[in-house]
Amino acid sequence: MAGDEASLTIDGERYELAVADHFAGPRLDEGLWLDHYLPHWTTAERSAARYDLGSEGLQLRIDADQPAWRAEDGRMRVSNIQNGAFSGRAGSERGTHRHTPGLLVRSPVPTRPPWTPLAGYVEATLRAPADPGCMLAIWLVGFEESSPADSGEITIAELFGERIAPERSTVRCGVKAVNDPRLVTDVADIELPIDAAAAAHRYGAAWNAERIHVLVDGEVVRTLEQGISYPLQLMIDLFEFPATEERPPAAYPKTALVESVRAYRPSAPPL
């Protein structure tokens, strides 16, 4: 990859900057972000993110008193930012990211797609926790307003704390079909010579209707010969999973850093 922040080239294709957020303001940009995790499948109290804004960027938090995302899903807790929202009426099955069978809309949300691209490049600079009970993730998921089948996910990075070490960290990345019969789930664990908790790294994906590239620190680590051509929503999530005997609860708060997010559109071909 080559280029500056205003433009870049990946695998010969040029992109130009469309969205950039360094989280430098005193508040989250509400015109770009929603600070709830898939709020239509649960209640506002349970979906609300905990976070701080500071000189380094956005720090997502899991607090000791934070409620579970859905009581039906046990003690899993999450703090998330996403850049869109869509659902059907209460009691319906229509809504973004129907990732679990049996989900029904509990809290209908107004449709708000400030940026749901069909193709492009998205990158976030993240520092993950090494906590074995946590995962930091960045995904592009099908918005689903166009069709329930338009639900595929580009898994840019899933960073499990138990697989982060001082000299090597595992990045889970690829494609998940979710409810899209046109896609085949293809997710792999890539071991890289980075410490994903000691320093922030750049995790990104370039995609179009034919192909997906996943990048870490500007280098392609996976290429998938599958594509997505319907609107996608960006999500960055800090999860905490229930404690077990092998994974006892650790100190709170549990945190992850989002330094910046950049989104690029394909450059128009020269005349």
pLDDT, residue 249, reads: 67
Q: If we measure between CA atoms, which residue out of 46, 99, 106 comes closest to residue 70?
A: 46
Q: If DSSP codes are grouped into helix, strand and coil, which group holds residue 128? A: coil
Whether residue 73 is contained in a domain is answered as: yes
Backbone angles phi, psi at 41, to 5 degrees: -90, -5
Whether residue 151 is contained in a domain is answered as: yes
Residue 94, domain CATH = 2.60.120.200
Whether residue 1 is contained in a domain is answered as: no
Neighbours of 138 (CB within 10 A): 24
- Cβ proximity of 128 and 166 under 8 Å: no
13 pairs with which residues across the strands?
A: 10
Query: What is the helix (H) or strand (E) element at residue 171, kind and residue range?
Result: strand 169-176
Whether residue 123 is contained in a domain is answered as: yes
Whether residue 129 is contained in a domain is answered as: yes
Number of domains in the chain: 1
Residue-wise pLDDT for 241-251, tens only, equals 987 766 666 78
19 pairs with which residues across the strands?
A: 263
pLDDT, residue 3, reads: 46
Domain that holds residue 218: 7-266
Backbone angles phi, psi at 51, to 5 degrees: -165, 165
Residue-wise pLDDT for 164-204, tens only, equals 999 999 999 999 999 999 999 999 999 999 999 999 999 99
| Residues in the chain, pLDDT under 50 | 1-3, 271
Side chain identity, residue 62: I
170 pairs with which residues across the strands?
A: 191
Whether residue 245 is contained in a domain is answered as: yes
Whether residue 257 is contained in a domain is answered as: yes
Residue 10 corresponds to which tokens in the numbers above? Answer: 């990946």
Whether residue 44 is contained in a domain is answered as: yes
